[in-house]
Amino acid sequence: MQVAVKVFYLYNYFSMKKKITVVGAGHVGATCAHDIALKNLGDVVLLDVVGGLPQGLGLDMLQAAPIEGSDSQVFGTNDYADTKDSDLYVMTAGLARKPGMSREDLLIKNAQIVKSIVEQIKKHSPTSMIIVVTNPLDIMCQVALKVSGFESRRVMGMAGILDAARFRAFIALELKVSAQEVEAMVLGGHGDAMVPLPRLTLVKGKTLTDLLPEDKINALVERTRAGGAEIVNLLKTGSAYYAPAAAAAQMAEAILLDQKKLLPCSAYLNGQYGLKEVYIGVPVKLGSSGVEEIVELKLTADELSALKTSAAVVSENFNKLKGEIL
Ligand code: TXD
């Protein structure tokens, strides 16, 4: 181990500062590491398989901190030993979608990547939490839970905050109001089966259904559902990363600062909403214990059936991995 690495490691061991490892120094991972450092949540280890990439980005972020007023130290590595005793991992490693690819096309490849990473997490930080970002999201959460053997409250996925943020942004554009005034709820799987809930979407206390006609709302829902693909088609070489990274950083903040925030996340259901043993997007309370509570909203029969359809897609795809990878 290099001297600098040893010093960083020792410093972390004796420090009360939190240690956050972001796995994958690609678009989402690097941006998220920077967001976490900007929020001053603790020291950040950025890990990737590509030699030099996390080290270079880590140095750049370390040097941005004095200007940005952050005390976070960012450090890049290719070695999991440097992630030892992390409080939290944000898992962004994997392949991203190219035009024409669905999130499910990434299934087998990313499941192998997630499995190999979670084995390392378990070995080096057995009491940590994991926020999964890698797609197909809900299934990768399920892979992470199975491979880690962690309690389900410690393994969760980022999707609902992003989907809700897209919905909020489009509603704000349509109504010409600040997005901060828009509270939106999106349930279900991250993908074509997501379930935006206009009935529970509020603009300064007024429900969206009272503010816009049905066809306008449907158009906003459709744009939200295809929000990721719209960006993939424009970028051509990758997928969205500013908003996904911001969403994962918000989850990290809620956990590390024990904020007890109610946020839509992919969480493991064990009877809630009549669903069992499946990860799906639902509102949860996020705090220092991870997913501290799953909030059960009163859904209409149609909404509940859409949530169940969404969960069935996740279970079906997860079952494809059994025997093959798990
Ligand atoms: O809402 C959501 N959950 C998402 C998910 C929103 C946006 C992106 N989403 C998914 O995150 C996307 O479909 C991908 O599966 C991941 C990462 O997306 P990103 O855009 O960051 O992909 P990049 O830029 O290709 O970066 C991936 C990095 C790259 O640097 C690889 O070298 C690295 O992952 N990688 C690994 N790092 C560590 N260990 C292993 N095994 C590994 N394999 C690849």
Kindly report, residue by residue over 106-119, the tens digit of the pLDDT: 898 999 999 999 99
Which domains, and CATH codes, for the chain? 3-157 (3.40.50.720), 160-321 (3.90.110.10)
- Asked if residue 72 has pLDDT above 90, the reply is yes
Q: Which residues contact 240 (CB under 8 A, 6 or more apart)?
A: 162, 227, 228, 231, 232
pLDDT at position 96: 76
Mean pLDDT, range 3-28, rounded to an integer: 80
Per the document, the length of the chain is 326
pLDDT at position 12: 57
**In this structure, which residue's CA is closest to atom 26 in ligand 1?**
26
Mean pLDDT, range 207-222, rounded to an integer: 96
Q: Which of 12-21, 96-105, 152-161, 242-251 has the lowest mean pLDDT?
A: 96-105
Interval 132-157: pLDDT, tens: 999 999 999 999 999 999 999 999 99
Q: Which of 2-6, 61-65, 213-217, 236-240 has the lowest mean pLDDT?
A: 2-6
* DSSP symbol at 97: P
> Is 192 strand, coil or helix?
coil
Tokens of 7: 């010093």
Distance 94 CA to ligand 1 centre (A): 4
Scanning the chain, the segments in alpha helix (DSSP H) are 3-14, 27-38, 53-68, 107-124, 137-148, 160-175, 208-211, 214-225, 227-235, 242-256, 301-321
Interval 23-38: pLDDT, tens: 999 999 999 999 999 9
Residues with CB under 6 A from ligand 1: 23-29, 48-50, 92-97, 106, 110, 113, 116-117, 133-135, 137, 158-159, 162, 190, 238-241, 244
- Best residue for ligand 1 mutational test, from 239, 241, 250, 325 (most atoms within 8 Å of Cβ): 239
Confidence bin at 95 (pLDDT 50/70/90) = confident
Distance 209 CA to ligand 1 centre (A): 36
Residue 300: count of CB within 10 angstroms of its CB: 10
Radius of gyration of the chain (CA): 19
